[in-house]
Structure 1
Amino acid sequence: MSTPPWTGPDWDDPVLTALAEQLREAHKLVAPLPQATRRRLIRHLLTITDLAKRDPELAARRLDSFLADFHGNRKAL
């Protein structure tokens, strides 16, 4: 008897789900950048990810700020 494939957690937290999706999109935005810039920005995203474990609402605000800065400064990158 085989076990069914994993389809995700048994719980649904809309705040955490939205935050995870935004973090995934942020990583996709950062991925094509030059290596030095990408490393610096990924460190910021990892810090936000770590914060999400303790305070998802604050992490969401920080991610919103990160994305606003990213889009505002994209030409400078």
Structure 2
Amino acid sequence: MMATPSGPAWDDPRLNALARRLREAHTRVAGLPGALKPRLTRQLLLITDLAKRDPALAVKRLESFMIELDGDENAS
């Protein structure tokens, strides 16, 4: 008998949505000019790493990050 994986299912809609939002955030940050980019990249990498351990908290942090990103892009 094969052991069943103990982690999340590969086709989990919540994790798929989180992955899509992370890709969107990475794309938006990559296109930023100037001094904002390094700071936002570090924040986004921390959220991406958090998603591996605590997806629910990562979703909350990513939502806050996206609101901040919207504000930074509008200020530029």
Give the 4+ runs in structure 1 shifted more than 2 A. none
| Aligned AA (2:29) | V
Tell me the C-alpha RMSD between the 2 structures.
1.6
Give aligned-pair identity as a percent. Answer: 59
Structure 2 unaligned blocks of 5 or more: 1-8
Task: Show the counterpart of 1:51.
Answer: 50
Structure 2 Cα separation of the partners of residues 18 and 36 of structure 1:
29
CA distance in 2, matches of 1:52, 1:19: 8
Residue in 2 aligned with 1:26? 25
- Within 5 Å, give how 1:1-77 maps onto structure 2: 11-77=10-76
Gaps of 5+ in 1: 1-9
Matched to 2:33, the amino acid is P
Distance across 2 between alignment mates of 1:31 and 1:68: 17
CA distance in 1, matches of 2:37, 2:17: 23
SS in 1 for 2:43: helix
Closer/same/farther in 2, CA of residues 67 and 55 from structure 1, 3 Å limit = same
- What is the CA deviation profile of residues 15-65 of structure 1, one whole-angstrom value per residue up to 9, with x for unaligned ones? 111111101001111112124321211111110011111110110010000
Q: How many residues align?
A: 68
TM-score, normalised by the number of residues in structure 1: 0.77
